[in-house]
Chains A and B, each alone.
Chain A
């Protein structure tokens, strides 16, 4: 079915039977949902005077209210900037200042900020900020056209039977949760269930919930499976049709336990990027193997650079980074991931993949230096069985400054996501033979220390 802006509203009412919040038990019929969206559109248009070219920071993560506001703004042509409500206020404010947001919507209400519209936002549905909130915010611009094409692509890959009763516990401030695991089922599923996040409590009831609601589909990141395998009983019925795991590679041993838990359910390792609006490749996992060979690419052209970096191009890709000049290489997005014969083997960019969230080490370094406690700093990834990777940091302290002062700064000013797991004080940052810092070298030195 071809989507246009107009019939998105029709599709919303026609396919959806219910939208439910797991944590509160609140559930809406499609008529109630559509009515709430229309009322919100009136409010945003007549009271808040929002129009195309305006943007709104939306903070009510993983709630029906979030989707009501999101869709109201979408249908008005206003750009939505979803952010993590639990992140530090300084980080949120940095994005508000950068984006010159006209409105901020959080759990306490709506708050007006700037009044002017920005021409570069006309036609943009969403701006997703990557880990850049720790330094200069980095906004991925997603056009309405790309979003519609993405949803159509997903519909071609995932059947209506598979998507019928969908569950999302991924955050709605990232592409994976917002576009792939929420907007896609909202437009194509019959029943959509949203949870705040995976917790021990939720995991304890997980298999019962799957059975009670006949859940057919959910997506996940590797860290979620620690909770599910650690606290959930085995699934009871055969409603589950398809499960995805994305954003970070899976260990063989973990795959073995997941397949055992899932029994005969189709399990896919999916590969995506914010810049590609989420998943664009996958491999079906039928046996425990760590060979991340992605053999299905969805409506996109791919090639490899001389350095084996995967380059991707698609009609549904992003429109660039906000206020940055060069975003692609001849129209191809540089993923930063290194491949050998379609097998993911490493990473070229300075990224730490913590629980499926990609954090740029340069931006972390900037954030830590802002403490005024350090002369020099270098962050690197530490392997973590639960998070995939966590943050390690070598620091050179200023005279009379202490590690405790640095920890306190991190605690007071940074989100838990950016808090370093291991802090190693040193006289000088380790460098390689070319006098450069490399993540691999830092990681090796750390492993030698521990």
Chain B
């Protein structure tokens, strides 16, 4: 299971926001452009020590999807 608080804390740190839950849609956050999305994914991979499949992360629309993907298809780094 992925620690929701840690994920949320990382998101808020990157975007300088104060969202209280994972109910965050990409279109709610104007700064969540492709560059910031890459930064978010890279930092999540580093923090939680795993790697997303590229095809899974391109069209992510919200933070809950990220958590679901992480819990469904974790590929541990060797």
Contacts and interface: CB of A to CB of B under 8 A. Distances in A.
Nearest to A390: B31
Contacts of B55: 201, 204
A234 to B, nearest CB: 14
Contacts, number: 48
A416 B33 contact: yes
Contact of B41 (A200, A205, A223, A421): A200
A299 interface: no
Contact of A355 (B30, B35, B42, B54): B35
B30 A416 contact: yes
A196 to B, nearest CB: 11
A204 B31 contact: no
Nearest to B51: A231
B58 A201 contact: yes
A230 B30 contact: no
Interface in A272-310: none
B16 A422 contact: yes
Nearest to B45: A230
A18 B36 CA distance: 34
B39 A385 contact: yes
B30 A226 contact: no
Given A199-B58, A200-B37, A201-B58, 20 more contacts: A197-B34, A199-B34, A200-B34, A200-B41, A200-B54, A201-B54, A204-B55, A226-B39, A230-B38, A230-B41, A231-B42, A355-B35, A386-B35, A386-B36, A386-B38, A407-B30, A410-B30, A416-B33, A419-B31, A421-B16
Interface in B35-66: 35-39, 41-42, 45, 54-55, 57-58
25 contacts: A199-B34, A199-B58, A200-B34, A200-B37, A200-B38, A201-B54, A201-B55, A201-B58, A203-B54, A204-B54, A205-B54, A226-B38, A230-B38, A230-B45, A231-B38, A385-B39, A386-B38, A386-B39, A407-B30, A410-B30, A411-B30, A416-B30, A419-B30, A421-B31, A422-B16
A387 interface: yes
Interface in A154-205: 197, 199-201, 203-205
Contacts of A387: 35
A226 B42 CA distance: 8
A385 B30 CA distance: 19
A199 B35 CA distance: 8
Contacts of A205: 54
A230 B42 contact: yes
Interface of B: 16, 30-31, 33-39, 41-42, 45, 54-55, 57-58
A201 B56 CA distance: 10
A200 B38 CA distance: 7
A90 to B, nearest CB: 17
Interface in A411-444: 411, 416, 419, 421-422
A232 B54 CA distance: 10
A227 interface: yes
A201 B35 CA distance: 13
A197 B30 CA distance: 20
Contacts of A411: 30
B30 A200 contact: no
Contacts of B31: 419, 421
A385 B43 CA distance: 12
Contacts of B41: 200, 230
Contacts of B36: 386
B38 A227 contact: yes
A227 B36 CA distance: 11
A436 to B, nearest CB: 28
Nearest to B46: A230
B5 to A, nearest CB: 21
Contacts of A227: 38
A231 B52 CA distance: 9
Contact of A231 (B30, B35, B54): B54
Contacts of B39: 226, 385-386
> Could you say which of B37, B38, B42 has the most chain A C-beta atoms within 10 Å of its C-beta?
B38
A200 B42 CA distance: 10
Given A230-B41, A407-B30, A419-B30, A200 B35 contact: no
Interface string A216-254: 000000010011001100000000000000000000000
